Amino acid sequence: RRLQALQPRLGPEHREAAAAQLLLLGLSAEAALALLERSPALLRLPTERLRERAEELRRLGLDGGR
């Protein structure tokens, strides 16, 4: 529900894609949601741009503290 309330003008697919990228980085669902609430600009990024940024973080070894 909290994810649905974020940026209601955006389609649900876009919100879910943003959350999925954060989850793939190893964040917990609660941490990913909190980040999206604190930084709603992340939701306005194109999905492909978010994916590229997440891939870069993984390449640098910053994936969920592993």
- Domain segments of the chain: what residues? 2-59
Taking the C-alpha atoms of residue 48 and residue 54, their distance in angstroms, rounded to an integer, is 10
Taking the C-alpha atoms of residue 35 and residue 37, their distance in angstroms, rounded to an integer, is 5
Q: How many CA atoms lie within 13 A of 49 on its CB side?
A: 7
Determine the length of the chain: 66
Q: Which residues of the chain have pLDDT under 50?
A: 66
* Whole-prediction pTM: 0.74
27 token code pair: 């964040």
| pLDDT at site 52 | 93
Does the CA dihedral 53-33-2-24 come out positive or negative? positive
